[in-house]
Amino acid sequence: RSGRSPRRVSKALREGRVSATDLCRKCLQRIRETHYLNAYISVTEELAMQQAERRRKLRLLRGYTFMWEPRGILDGVPFSVKDNFCTQGVETTCASLMLKGYTPPFNATVVQKLLDQGAVLLGKTNLDEFAMGSGSTDSSFGPVRNPWSEAVTGGRSSTELGSDWAIAGGSSGGSAAAVASLSCYLSLGSDTGGSTRNPGALCGVVALKPTYGVLSRHGLIPLVNSMDVPGILTRRVCDAAIVLDILRGPDERDSTTVPSPALDCALTEELDLTRITVGIPQVTDWFQDAGQEVVVSSALAGTAGGLPSDLFPWR
Amino acid sequence: MVGVVGLEVHAQINSTSKLFSGSQVSFSSPPNSRVSYFDASLPGTLPVLNRRCVEAAVMTGLALNCTINMKSLFDRKHYFYADMPAGYQITQQRLPIAVSGLLIYSHLGGPKRNQVISKSIRIKQIQLEQDSGKSLHDEHQSQTLIDLNRAEGQLRVDANVSVHRPGEPLGVRTEVKNINSIRHLARAIDHEIQRQMELLEQGGVVQNETRAFDQKTGLTIPMRDKEGLQDYRFMPEPNLPPLLLYVSGRVPAGLDPSQVVLVDRVKALLPELPGVRRERLVEEYGILPEHSYTLVNEDGLADYFETVVKATKAEPRKVIGWVVKELLSNLNQQNLKVNQSLVAARALAELLDLLETGHVSSTAAKVVFQELWKNPEKGAEKIIQEQNLGLMSDAATLQIICQKVVESHPEEVKAIQNGNHKVLNKLMGQVQKETKGRADPVQVRAILQELTSS
């Protein structure tokens, strides 16, 4: 395994311990192995390998010529994008038959920013049709299955899932499942009323909904223009922070963008648990109406019980 | 019963790119050659407001004495039509950029059409709005062709007409579309008022509908595809923040200057408005009000006039005749604009100087003007020389010619001697005929008077 985080794998790429093409190949292999999750609508194998090859060559040349393109931490790192973002020359369906076969002539701004960093696009992830949904169950290309399904349905072989599976959440379920199943290092989703956060929670990955206006919506096919934002899904919080910093910024093609300050912190990968405080809500009668109070209380207690006791003075 | 009319004027802004997309505005381009991704409504594209269009709207508002709304809003107006792929038009329905204006204009009336009558008309509002594409209906092949370059036609107008008795509430209005000229506008309104009055007199009811003006018949006919009241489902345009305008010195810190439109700066850029210019021309140059209309209404003519006046010794009151008669009729004959005039302002000024200094008679000068028009590269002096149009002022020569005319017109001489002095003009005309208009009229008159007094 080349590490779970872009930072680690980036280091490996820089040090030549792995090449961009090897990495891309491994990720594409992972996508094939987890095809039953239905996380991807299109996989851009050829394009991805071409991009990876280009990154690999540039890295080699850097030592020998002035043909140097400054690249950061995402150079050569494979990523995926929810299929409601326009990708130039790559089919963009919004999981709908209405846009089946539609190939945009331009990249969404946030996609372009990642490509400009040298990141490698693996494919377009599945979603609820036009992002309207919170389960990724309403796609014209079939539902997305949660990679942790067996944990819910009760232990089975991890290579196939039958009819017993758990939802990935939505509408960015494909993106969350892709990141959780290790087929890419980061994925772009979108969030209107929880569509990035919800699948992030259900698939156990980090999901960030940026403030409206911080990231450009140019090229994001809209659900609700005044609420949509591009969302970021990664496996570590520090990675989400890095991606946010790369993607933020006013875009003249999106009049609803605003300037935002640069991230003024460096988040570490390794968390020193002795120095953090975890808050767990005491009040669970919010869930009464849904008849979930008992389930939620016991889940919270179980979680708190599993963590070191000195973190929870008020337990 | 009287008619009540409201006009909806669509004026295309003079800018190089469109209101919300970066694509170019260009007249007579091949179909669909000026279409950006946004114009084609490709999913994921967003409108971006064009600064020049905002300045143009503010300038128009100021010129029409409107209150400029320092904050205005954009809305979506939804309806389905093939030339509008988005399914909605971006407009300003709730809070437009300018409101409550007034246009004061004068026109020439009275029996001789030389009385200046002043009128005013209210401007309800001015709003920025997206134009639709153009559709061409091909009935032979049962298809409609769409050009998304955006409709051409710099000025379009729809008329809203209703009738009522003064003092009573306003009647139901109809909207009349497909009007292609000012003349048709007048005809359409007149017809529609007539139609509604007759309908009501017969006990009928005026429908709130859209009608098309048929210029062949002069009638308005209901438009088949617009039945009943449309629900446009207006909603705020979420992709465009409120449009904020500023005044110099009161711009909040931190704003990008390229995003700031200053109303006072736009005001300073306003050219001299027509009414003001007309007044100034009359006052400064002593010309007649009716001439000031001609000067201002023809593009570039007032500038031409002022250039000639400054370059010649002749008085403005003499210059004006040449500009509004000789120059204008020549231009109109060949359908030319003032800036295409074959006689430049300086050339005319030269000619008028020659007239002023007595080198040529006024009749001959008109001939010279026409020659200049045909041969603009030659100067007035050269033409006078070549065609021997110089003023004939030699007393002896004139004496001989006058003598000849007097002798060959005994009847006229008798009439003059009997007290009818106006007939002298006829004799003068004869002398000018003989001299091809070159005779010095002052001398000729004196000689003829002398010859006919004995």
- C-alpha–C-alpha distance, residues A168 and A152, integer Å: 12
> Among A253, A258, A260, which would you mutate to test the B interface (most chain B Cβ atoms within 10 Å of its Cβ)?
A253
- In this predicted structure, what is the pLDDT of residue A66? 47
Chain A hits for B47, Cβ within 8 Å: 255
- In this predicted structure, what is the pLDDT of residue B229? 67
At a CB cut-off of 8 Å and minimum separation 6, what does B27 contact? B152
Q: Is the pLDDT of residue B231 over 60?
A: yes
Nearest to A218 among B46, B49, B241 (CB): B46
User: What is the pTM (predicted TM-score) of this model?
Assistant: 0.82
Chain B hits for A222, Cβ within 8 Å: 43-44
Question: Which chain A residues have any C-beta within 8 angstroms of a chain B C-beta?
Answer: 85-86, 92, 94, 99, 102, 104-106, 108, 217-222, 224-226, 252-256
Q: What three-state secondary structure class fits A176?
A: helix
Mean pLDDT of B169-196: 92
Chain A hits for B239, Cβ within 8 Å: 225, 254-256
Q: Backbone phi, then psi, for B275, in 5-degree steps?
A: -60, -45
Encode pLDDT of A9-35 as tens digits.
Answer: 888 887 888 899 999 999 999 999 999
The residues pairing with A125 across neighbouring beta strands, listed in sequence order, are A40, A82
Q: Do B44 and A221 touch (CB under 8 A)?
A: yes
- C-alpha–C-alpha distance, residues A119 and A234, integer Å: 14
Q: What three-state secondary structure class fits B245?
A: coil
- In this predicted structure, what is the pLDDT of residue A198? 97
- In this predicted structure, what is the pLDDT of residue B14? 82
Q: Do B46 and A255 touch (CB under 8 A)?
A: yes
- In this predicted structure, what is the pLDDT of residue B383? 85
Q: Is the pLDDT of residue A299 over 90?
A: no
A172 given a catalytic annotation: no
B327: nearest Cα among B437, B312, B319, B389: B319
Mean pLDDT of B229-236: 89
The answer to which of A84-93, A147-156, B83-92, B346-355 has the lowest mean pLDDT is A147-156
Q: Is the pLDDT of residue B149 over 60?
A: yes
Encode pLDDT of B319-342 as tens digits.
Answer: 999 999 999 999 999 999 999 998
Mean pLDDT of A69-85: 88
Return the percentage of chain B with pLDDT > 70, whole number: 98
Q: Is the pLDDT of residue B227 over 70?
A: no
- In this predicted structure, what is the pLDDT of residue A3? 60
Nearest to B238 among A106, A220, A226 (CB): A226
* Residue, of B425 and B227, whose pLDDT is higher: B425
A216 given a catalytic annotation: no
Q: What three-state secondary structure class fits A231?
A: strand
Distance (Å) from the alpha carbon of B9 to chain A's nearest alpha carbon: 28
Nearest CA in chain A to B36: A105
Out of A5, A82, A134, A139, the active site residue is A82
Q: Is the pLDDT of residue A308 over 70?
A: no
- C-alpha–C-alpha distance, residues B431 and B444, integer Å: 8
The answer to which of A95-104, A304-313, B51-60 has the lowest mean pLDDT is A304-313
A26 given a catalytic annotation: no
Q: Is the pLDDT of residue A2 over 50?
A: no
Nearest CA in chain A to B41: A221
- C-alpha–C-alpha distance, residues A131 and A191, integer Å: 9
Chain B hits for A225, Cβ within 8 Å: 238-239
Top-confidence range, A154-163, A190-199, A265-274: A190-199
CA distances from B420 to A160, B414, B427, B441, B452 (A): 124, 9, 12, 19, 11
The answer to which of A189-198, B104-113, B218-227 has the lowest mean pLDDT is B218-227
| Chain A to chain B Cβ contacts (< 8 Å) | 48
Q: Supply B235's token pair.
A: 């909603």
- In this predicted structure, what is the pLDDT of residue A309? 63
- In this predicted structure, what is the pLDDT of residue B100? 97
Encode pLDDT of B99-113 as tens digits.
Answer: 999 998 888 788 887
When the pLDDT of each residue in chain A is averaged and rounded to a whole number, the result is: 88
Encode pLDDT of A38-52 as tens digits.
Answer: 999 999 999 999 999
ipTM field: 0.88
- In this predicted structure, what is the pLDDT of residue A201? 96
Q: Is the pLDDT of residue A285 over 80?
A: no
When the pLDDT of each residue in chain B is averaged and rounded to a whole number, the result is: 89
